[in-house]
Structure 1
C-alpha cells in the first residue's frame, strides 16, 4: 500500500526531472553560429510584431463567433494526399515563389485562413493506412469501408462482383442526399471523371480500377453482370442527376473504335458504348440544355445562361501538371470550379459541389516534392475561387484530404531556406540532406551501390519540378501515410468541424448544416422534420447538472496539492531521472 502511495506521489516528480542537454555540444554551437550569421537581426520580426499578431488573432476570434444557420450551398474540396506536412511545406513554397515574402514560413495558403480547423482520422475499416477509395466512402458516404472498394458496405470484399450487385450493400453519398432535396450537384476533378474518389459520389464498385468494361473483364469478371463505373454513371440515380461533371479520362468514356481527334488514340471501352454520347442523350430527356466539351477554349466560351448540364473531359487520362495545362488546351481547377458554380448557382434551392485535386497525390507517388508543392498551390487557388464566388452566410466550405504521404520536412535550416533545397550543415556522414524527404518510393537509391555512400543531393537540381528525391526504401510507387489530415471549414456550422473527427463523420456534419440526408438536422431546417437535434439531443435546456464536486474531483484536487508540496522536496535533494 505504501509503495503505491510512494509511486503516485514521487513518480510524477521524478518523471519531470532534468533531461540530458545536448545544446552545448560543439556541433550545436557551430550550427547556431552559422544560422545567426545568415539571418541578420534587422531582418527578423520584433517582439511587438508577434504581440500584435496575437492581438489580431484574438480580436478576429471575438468578431467571428459560430454561425448557425441553414447552409443553402456546400462545397467540399479534397486535396488528394494533402497531409499536414504537405500543407506546411506548400505554405513556405508559395511564400517564397509567389508572395514575395522575406522568408516564406510566415505566409499562408488561402485554406489556412478559414476560421475553423480540425483533424480527420483516415484509416480504412480493414487497414491502418487508407487508399483513396475506402477514404472516399468515408468522407462522401459516411461509413468506414474496405480497402480498394468504394460506395459499398463491408459486406463486399475486394473484387467481389456478386456482392457489388447486391443492393443491400450499396450506400448513398452526400451528392445524392443533396439531390433528393432538390439541389443541383457537381463534381470537378483534375483526375479522370470515372476515377475514385470523384466517382464514389455515384458508383458502388468492388474494385476501384473498374472504370470500363475492359477493366472488369481483365479480372475475369463478366462486365454485363458486374457494371463498371462508366455504366453506373448512366444507371445510378446520383450519376443520372449530376448537373456538372468536369475532369479528364476521355478514353475511359469512349470505345476502342473511336479515335480521339486531339491525341489520335483510341478509347478504352470494348463494348462499343460511348458514355459521353449516351450522357447527352440521357440529359436531353431532362429539363434544361446539356453540353459535352473537350477543351479549355470551349469551357471559357460557353454561354452559361444556356447551359444546365455540362460534361467536360479535357484529357485522355488525368489532366496534365498545372504548369502544362494551357499549352494542352486544358483548364485549371479554378476555371472548372468557376464554371461549375455559375451553372449550379442558378438553382434557387442551392447546390453541392465536390472538388478533387488529384495531381498532388500523383506527384507524391513519384517522389517529386516540387510537383506536389505546385499542385497544392494550384488546388488552393480553386479553394479561393470557390470562396470568392460564394457568401459565408449561406455556403459551407470544407477542405480536407483523403490521406497523407510519407513526405517529411526536417532539419534545422536557416529561416527562409528554399524549401526545395537542403540543409546548410552536413550530416554525420559528411553529406547535406534535403529539407523534404520521402520514406520510400521509386526515386533513386539513397545509398550509391558502387561507393556505399549516401546520394549527394548537392549534385542534383532539386528545384526542378520533375526532380525525384532519393529514398531509403525502394517501392514501385511511394506509399500513403497514416497520420491524421487537416480539415479547414467556414460558413454555417463550420465550428462543428473543430477537433479530431472520424473521416466518416464529415459528410454527416455537412449534411447537418445543409439540411439534407436522413441523419440529424439542425434547428433551422424546415419545420416538420422529425430528426432535428432539438428533438433528439439528450441534453436539453432543462437538463440539470451537479453543482458540487464529486468525490473523484475532490480526491484529484487533494492529489495535485500534495504533488505541489512533495515534488520540490525531492528535487531539492537531487532526485531526478534522466
Structure 2
C-alpha cells in the first residue's frame, strides 16, 4: 500500500521547512469540540479578561468531511489525527465516499485503518496521552487512539485504547469498564491493571498518582458515562480539564524524547447541541484554562508546539437574536452576559437539583410547579418563568434538561441559535510554535495532521505500513493459510498456519501467540468486519 503521491510531496515540503529549525520534541493538541467564534467572544465577555487562546490565533480551518460540508465529530477528528478525510462515523479509518470538491482521494482501500499522529509519535519513542471530558472512547479521543468504521462500537474502541500503549488516558466512561456492560464480557478494569497502569477515579488520586502509566476515569458517580460540566462538578470528585492536562504533562514530559498529548473539551459540543449558553461558555473557559497550562509548559520548555482548534462548528450561536433585529446597536453587552452569570449550574446541573421530580417518561404534576419555580430561581437566577416554561421543565425526560432550560436562558440573554446540530463554517486555528513555523492562513483539517507530523519529524504513511498490513494478503504471499476462530463471536481470533507454525492474533489487542508463546505486537489488531489488519512485526513471524 503506497501513500498518495500528492500527500507525500506536501509532507516532504513541510518537513523541509521545519528542517530549517530543530524538530519539536513534543506537541500538545487541544480540541474544544463544537466551539465557535461567538463562543469565544461570549467567554471573553463573561470572564472580563482576554483568553489564553487570544494571542496564538493564526488562521482558519475548513472542517469538511470526505462526503459532507457539515462534519460529524468522528471524521472531523480523524482528519486531524491521520491526515486523511473520512466520512460520518469513521474512526481513524478510510471512508467509502470522497465526493466533496477538492477533497483528496486516498489510494488506500475503504474501511481500512490508518495510523494516527499519536501512534506515529509512540513508534518514534515518544510518550503519548489522551484526555477528554466525555467517555474516553468517544469519537474525538478514539480518533487518535483506536480504529473502527463506526464510532458506536464502544467495546472495540475502549479495548483498543487499553492495549494501544498509551501512557496517559483520562476522561469519563466508568460504566464501560465493567464486564457485564460489554458484549465481549471482558473486564476492562482488570485489563487496565494488568497492562501496568495506575488507575485513579477522583481528583486527589489523580494529583498524587506516581510517575508511569496512568489511567483515570471520572464522573459524578459510578453510573455517569461522561464527566460533569465544569460549573457543575464537585472538585473533590472530578478534576478540571486544566488539572488533568497538568498531570498528563507532568508524566509525559519525563520522556526525554518528547511526547504527544491530545486534550478535548468534549462537552463544549454537547452544550452547543442543547443550546445551553451557560454550559457552553463555562466549559469554553475551562478549556481555556487547560490551554494556559499547555502554553505555560511550552514556553518554559522551549521545544513544544501547542495547537488548539475545534473540529467543527455547532448550533449557529449568535450574540444577538431576532428579538433585537431592531435596536441591536443600542443593546448593551451586559444584556448578553448578566443572565449567564446569574446561573450557578447548567441545565444538566439543574436536573440533578430536581432529581426527585424528573421522571423517565416525562410525566408532570401541576403540584410540582412551586418547587420548580423555587429551584430555577435559586440555581438559574430566573424569577419570571411562564406557566408554559414551568410545565416544559416538569415534562422534561431524564437526561434532557439542558435542551429544555438552555433556550430559556438564551432567550433572556438575547443569544440566538439556528440548529441543535453541527454547522459547516470555517473555524479559528490557534498555534504556538517556538520555531516560528506555525501553520497559518486558511487550511484544511487534514493539513493540521501534516503540520504536526512534520513538527515531530514522523511519517504517517510509514506508520500505517508498520501498524496495519492487510493480513490475508500479506500472509498469503508467505504461503500461509488464514482463518478466523469465532468460538467466541465477540472475541474473534485471526488464525495463521504454515507448516509447524500457528499464529493466533486476538482482535483489538497488541499481542499474539506463536505456537502458544506470547509475542508483543507493534500495534493493535483491527478487524473491520471483513478484513484483518495487523502489525508488520507479526507478518514477519511467519517464515
TM-score class, shorter: 0.5 to 0.7
The whole-number CA distance in structure 1 between the counterparts of 2:119 and 2:427 is 25
Unaligned runs of 5+ in 1: 1-65, 96-106, 158-165, 213-227, 257-267, 284-289, 423-456, 521-578
Q: What's the offset of the Cα at 1:273? A: 1.0
Match for residue 317 of structure 2 among 404, 407, 414: 407
Q: What does the per-residue CA deviation read over 1:473-496, in whole Å, with 9 as the maximum and x for residues that have no partner?
A: xx9981111101111111245543
Report the alpha carbon displacement of residue 414 of structure 1 after superposing the two structures with TM.
4.3
Write the deviation string for residues 240-299 of structure 1: whole angstroms up to 9, x where unpaired: 21000000001112122xxxxxxxxxxx2133211121122133xxxxxx3011111211
Q: Residue 275 of structure 1: which of 153, 166, 188 is its match?
A: 188
Is the CA contact (8 Å cut-off) linking 2:204 and 2:236 kept in structure 1?
no
Greater Rg by CA: 1
**Equivalent of 1:146 in 67, 74, 87:** 87
Which of 2, 18, 24 is matched with 1:71 structurally? Answer: 24
In 2: Cα distance, 1:294 partner to 1:477 partner: 35
Structure 1 segments of 4+ aligned residues over 6 angstroms from their partners? none
CA deviations on 1:104-145 (whole Å, 9 max, x unpaired) are xxx32101122x511110011111101110101111111110
Question: Structure 1 pair 460/367, CA: closer, same or farther in 2 (3 Å)?
Answer: farther
Q: Is the 8 A contact 2:38 2:318 kept in 1?
A: yes
Q: Distance in 1 between matches of 2:88 and 2:436?
A: 29
Answering whether residue 75 of structure 2 is matched by residue 134 of structure 1, we say: yes
- The answer as to whether partners of 1:156 and 1:169 remain within 8 angstroms in 2 is no
Q: Aligned equivalents of 2:72 and 2:31: distance in 1?
A: 14
Matched-pair contact (CA < 8 Å) for 1:111–1:380: yes
Gap change, CA 1:129 and 1:413, over 3 Å in 2: farther
Query: What residue is the counterpart of 1:484 in the other structure?
Result: 426
Match of 1:251 among 175, 186, 190: 175
Deviations 1:155-174 (A, max 9, x none): 389xxxxxxxx897111110
Partner of 1:469: 407
> 1:182-216 deviations in whole A, cap 9, x for unaligned?
0000001111111111011122222212112xxxx
CA RMSD of aligned residues (A): 3.0
Larger strand percent: 2
User: Equivalences for 1:328-477 in 2 at 5 Å?
Assistant: 329-390=237-298, 391=300, 393-405=302-314, 406-410=316-320, 411-420=328-337, 459=384, 467-469=405-407
Structure 2 counterpart SS, 1:197: helix
Number of the residue aligned with 1:292: 199
Structure 1 residues 516-538: Cα deviation after superposition (integer angstroms, max 9, x where no partner): 22479xxxxxxxxxxxxxxxxxx
SS at match of 2:53: helix
| Cα deviations by residue, 1:443-462 (Å, 9 ceiling, x for unpaired) | xxxxxxxxxxxxxx994699
| Alignment-derived partner of residue 160 in structure 2 | 232
Give distance in 1, aligned partners of 2:42 and 2:208. Answer: 36
Report whether the alignment pairs 1:124 with 2:65: yes
Alpha-carbon deviations, 1:532-557, whole Å to 9, x = none?
xxxxxxxxxxxxxxxxxxxxxxxxxx
- The answer to whether the Cα contact below 8 Å between 1:489 and 1:497 also exists between their aligned partners in 2 is yes
The verdict on how the C-alpha distance between 1:326 and 1:420 changes in structure 2, with shifts beyond 3 A counting, is same
Q: SS where residue 242 of structure 2 aligns?
A: helix
Q: CA 1:413–1:359 in structure 2 vs 1: closer, same or farther (change >3 Å)?
A: farther
Partner Cα distance (1:358, 1:509) in 2: 23
Task: Specify whether residues 301 and 496 from structure 1 end up closer, same or farther in structure 2 by C-alpha distance, changes over 3 A only.
Answer: closer
CA-to-aligned-CA distance 1:324-346 (integer Å, 9 cap, x gap): 22256011011101110011011
Aligned in 2, Cα 1:84/1:341: closer, same or farther, shift over 3 Å? Answer: same
TM-score by length of 2: 0.61
CA contact (8 A) 1:369 1:420 kept: no
Q: CA deviation at 1:153?
A: 0.6
Tell me how far apart the structure 1 counterparts of residues 90 and 433 of structure 2 sit (CA, whole Å): 32
Aligned CA distance change for structure 1 residues 323 and 126 (closer, same or farther; 3 Å): same
2:25–2:303: 8 Å Cα contact kept in structure 1?
yes
Q: Which moved more, 1:200-209 or 1:511-520?
A: 511-520
Take 2:134 and 2:147, find their aligned partners in 1: how far apart are those partners?
Answer: 19
Give me the whole-angstrom Cα distance separating, in 2, the residues matched to 1:133 and 1:494.
31
In 2, Cα distance between the equivalents of 1:490 and 1:400?
12
CA change 1:416–1:322 in 2 (3 A) is same
What is the SS of the residue equivalent to 1:300?
Answer: helix
Q: 1:381 to 1:413 in 2, by over 3 A?
A: farther
Q: Which moved more, 1:335-344 or 1:484-493?
A: 484-493
Deviation of 1:513 after TM superposition, in Å, equals: 1.3
Structure 1 length-normalised TM: 0.58
Match of 1:81 in 2: 34
Q: Unaligned 5+ residue runs, structure 2? A: 1-18, 99-108, 321-327, 340-381, 390-400, 412-416, 463-543
1:94 to 44, 47, 60: 47
1:363-399 residue CA offsets vs partner (Å, 9 max, x unmatched): 1111101110000001000110111123363110000
| Structure 2 Cα separation of the partners of residues 327 and 93 of structure 1 | 21
